[in-house]
Structure 1
Amino acid sequence: MTAPAVPGRVVAEFGTGYLATRVLTAERGYLWCRRPGHARPCPFTPVPDAVADAARAWTAHGSRVVLGAPGPTDLDNRRPDGAGTWRQYRVPAPYSLGHVLGNHAAAPLAWAALPRLLHQVGTVLRRVHTAFAGSPAPGGPPGAARVAGWLAGAPVTPAAGRLRREALARLGGARMRRAGEWCADVAAGGTGERPVLLLGGVSLGSVIPSPGGDACTVLAGEELATGHAAFDLGWTVGELAEFRLLHFTGPAGGAAAEHCATAARALLSGYATAPDPDGPRHGPADTRPDLDAVARSAVLRILAHGVDYAAFVGWRDQLTEYLDVVAGLLDHPMGTIEGPPGAPAGRRTGPGTEEQ
């Protein structure tokens, strides 16, 4: 990891019970300082030395992965298990692609560049997965584990319990069991290929665009895991599908929804066409992502956002709209990529860009 930088003034602060973020000025750009939220069930994952060393090579057209360095401490919120420790990331902007999707008029260059930036994220992910096709990180992705626990009846808050009761009524037992089976498959590392190092699910809230929209920085290291390469891709595809199916709906949202669909296709294209930095003999023979596995992970991502919102923010009636969309996608998961006709209309007032 790089040496800690000296933080400047706070320009933004946001988060949930799962993840807290402070953005500060720095000598060159900004520092994003993040720590586990007060209700987070586990600390950030450690970053193996081999992964930290390899991260210097994980770039694509100027885009890169930053794994973070020890950051400033907050003694009032530090927990004995170390879960309150801050990590800091040097980045070029005070906002993420999650913020851009929530208010794209405020960052028009990044919004226009969204497909290009997601293509670069796909290329970066390919390099990560190729570098560690045999992962040094223990355990499966925490996001899928949280959904699995919730499905099994272990909600962590009354709001999460209420969401589960609503899910039993709206999804039905068969769909709930199907989602659980998909979580179990993710936990087992998938089938048909060697497990790889996962960044743990790349959130749009962790992708920071450059001011000119020509490159981006991917914040990672907090949820390193081992599993099927499709999981990382599906986590991002799921967020784009969530905006498309729940927030960019109706005639007014048509162009924005198509922009999100184009960005999802660009992510998958960037992954499939990324050159193997070690030559074609060293990487897997087929670099095309397993679209069925990507789509299943994307559905789990949408469900996870609803579950996490209820658990770490609170109840909103619009959460039931998430369940209605998830019900259809559990039947037709490729709708996360292809966009099923007649998808239920959502509202912009539902859970949106809060960091998870």
Structure 2
Amino acid sequence: MRRPPALALFGTGYLATRVTRAGDGFLWSRTAGPDRPEDFTPVPAALARAARAARGWAVGGTRVVLGAEERVRAEDYGPLPIRGAGVVERRYPAPAPYSLGHVLGNRAAAPAHWAALPRLLERVGEVLRQVHTSFADVPVAGGPAGPRRLAHWLAGRQNIGRATRLWQEAHRVLGPERMAVAASWCTDPGASTAPPVLLLGGTGLGSQVPTPDAADCVLLTGEELAAGPASHDLGWIVGELAEFRLLHFTGSAEDAAAHCASATAALLRGYAGGPGPRPASAGLDAVARSAVLRMFTHCLDYAAFVGWDDRFPDHLDVLAALLDHPMGTIDGLTGAPVAPDVALETEES
């Protein structure tokens, strides 16, 4: 039986997404793009049981949703390229056909959700704290995929799409010393002595789907589960907010940049005040380094899985400043912190 027609289809060489109606809500289905270097991570049975027992580690109605696996049908994805027959997709029940990433990129389309971003991300921070403190023994193995992909590229071992051209441009703008710094952060963002925690992996704004009333959101997760420093999950979101604030919301959009700053502060405030012991690997310095890696990985992924963008030199200029001063992802490269009330520790604390 054919599935309902898609309300939205979008994808790259890395990931393809289809959104359809499902009763009173929506179903997000995702499968690997043809150039994705790694399959989706499996969801261990122990983790699925823990998520059910904890109601998705819910704070109010904000919670984690682990996808259910089904065989993919190429025709379901229409013209989008996917890896091929026999590959699985992940299906997630969700309350809306758009994510907080869509809201951030088009504030006029969802003004109520735009206004609610700080409150929604504060809840996300609380949920992440619960996830990170739920397991004495992490039920997954391996570090996060994004930094691993970036490390391979920095070492000259990835040449998909326009990645080689970007490497040459990055070498020119950043220089070998900054690229070496980025490579060192890929394996150690500043928290190597702390025990690993369960990481949701790539759960950024594009995987956070809000409810229609903008009161809560669900985190679509399970594709890039990993073990590593808590700073990774936080930095992945902080880096997305920093990219909008420092690259897209400048000049005439100063109010939008300030809104991103407020959302950053709220995310970190929610995490700092969440239940359970704070992981040692959630220090603000490590979060800032992970945020820089997120911005760098986004640049790489666009070149590898989408194509060349003439704005890459501007992106690399900002990355050069952030590699020298990673806390710029949080203090805006101005020295004025955007999250002055966050209780996470820095290395100087």
User: Normalization by structure 2: what TM-score?
Assistant: 0.89
| 102, 105, 117: which one aligns with 1:102 | 105
Matched residues, percent identical?
58
Q: In structure 2, what is the equivalent of residue 322 of structure 1? A: 315
Q: Measured at CA, do residues 72 and 211 of structure 1 come closer, stay the same or move farther in structure 2, by a change above 3 Å?
A: farther
Measured in 2, the distance between the counterparts of 1:133 and 1:264 equals 28
- Cα contact 1:201–1:231 (8 A) shared by 2: no
Equivalent position of 1:296 in the other structure? 289
Q: Does 1:113 align with 2:106?
A: no
- How far the C-alpha of 1:203 sits from its partner, in A, is 1.2
Q: Distance in 2 between matches of 1:129 and 1:329?
A: 27
Q: Give the equivalent residue in structure 2 for 1:279.
A: none
User: Is residue 2:126 matched to residue 1:123?
Assistant: yes
Q: Helix, strand or coil for the counterpart of 2:194?
A: coil
> Deviation digits for residues 209-265 of structure 1, max 9, x if unmatched?
111110000000000000000110000000000000010010x21000010011011
Alignment correspondent of 1:269: 269
On the 8 A contact 1:7/1:31 being kept in 2, the answer is no
How far apart, in 1, do the equivalents of 2:111 and 2:37 lie? 37
Q: Please, which runs of 5 or more residues in structure 2 have no aligned partner?
A: 76-81, 336-349
CA distance in 2, matches of 1:146, 1:102: 25
Q: Distance in 2 between matches of 1:337 and 1:135?
A: 29
Q: Which of 7, 30, 33 is matched with 1:34 structurally?
A: 30
- Residue 198 of structure 1 is matched in structure 2 by 199
Residues 133 and 318 from structure 1, CA distance in 2 versus in 1: closer, same or farther, beyond 3 angstroms?
A: farther
Paired position in structure 1 for 2:253: 253
Asked if the contact 1:141/1:226 (under 8 Å) is kept, the reply is yes
Q: 1 CA distance for matches of 2:216 and 2:174?
A: 40
Cα gap change, 1:133/1:178 in structure 2, threshold over 3 Å: closer, same or farther? Answer: farther
Q: How does 1:1-356 map to 2 (within 5 A)?
A: 7-56=3-52, 57=54, 58-71=57-70, 73-75=72-74, 77=82, 79=84, 84-185=87-188, 190-250=191-251, 252-276=252-276, 283-284=277-278, 289-341=282-334
Contact 1:134 / 1:194 at 8 angstroms: preserved in 2?
no
Partner residue of 1:354?
none
> Which structure 1 residue ranges, 5 or more long, are not aligned?
1-5, 277-282, 343-356
Count the aligned residue pairs.
325
1:52-82 superposed Cα distances (whole Å, 9 cap, x missing partner): 11123111121010110023522575547x6
Does the 8 A contact of 2:69 with 2:89 survive in 1?
Answer: yes
Letter in structure 1 aligned against 2:322: L
The alpha-carbon deviation at position 115 of structure 1 amounts to: 0.3
Question: Which secondary structure state, in structure 2, belongs to the residue aligned with residue 232 of structure 1?
Answer: helix
The runs of 4+ residues in structure 1 deviating greater than 4 Å are 75-80
- SS in structure 1 of the partner of residue 88 of structure 2: coil
Deviation track 1:258-286 (CA, whole Å, cap 9, x = no partner) reads: 1001101111111110123xxxxxx45x6
Q: Report the CA distance between 1:198 and its aligned residue.
A: 0.3
Q: TM-score, normalised by structure 1?
A: 0.87
CA RMSD of aligned residues (A): 1.8
Q: Deviations over 1:119-176 (max 9, x none)?
A: 0110110111011243111110000001001100122325110000000010011100
Give me the whole-angstrom Cα distance separating, in 1, the residues matched to 2:27 and 2:285. 37
Q: Which range is displaced more, 241-250 or 131-140? A: 131-140
Distance in 2 of aligned mates of 1:157 and 1:220: 26
Structure 2: which amino acid aligns with 1:22?
A: R
Contact 1:16–1:37 (CA<8 Å) still a contact in 2?
yes
Provide the secondary structure at the position in 1 that maps to 2:64: strand
SS for the counterpart of 1:295 is: helix
Measure, in 2, the Cα distance between the counterparts of 1:49 and 1:216.
Answer: 24
**CA distance in structure 2 between the aligned counterparts of 1:256 and 1:110, rounded to whole angstroms:** 13
Q: C-alpha separation between the residues in 2 aligned to 1:65 and 1:133?
A: 19
Task: Give the Cα separation in 2 of the matches to 1:158 and 1:43.
Answer: 19
